[in-house]
Amino acid sequence: MLINYIQLHHNEPLVKIFTEDRAEYIDALNTAEEQENLEIFREFIGKQEFKCLKAEIDKHKKLNKGFA
């Protein structure tokens, strides 16, 4: 929820944590806390953001397929 708030505050698109990546999400949170290294979590979120945006682009490409 905090991530969503920060993204909305900065007018950024919301990042979805994909179901198949939930374990990696929890691992990134725990490892970042254990190592006191926020960069670990930032890297995970960056990858998720990229994955979300790519999924949206692919979805729109499929919707517009056949319209030239």
Q: Where do the domains of the chain lie? A: 2-63
Which comes out higher in pLDDT, residue 37 or 10? 37
Q: Pick the closest to residue 24 from 39, 3, 44 (CA basis).
A: 44
For CA atoms 15, 19, 54, 47, the dihedral sign is: positive
Confidence at 19, pLDDT banded by 50, 70, 90:
very high
pTM summary value: 0.76
pLDDT of 62 strictly over 80: yes
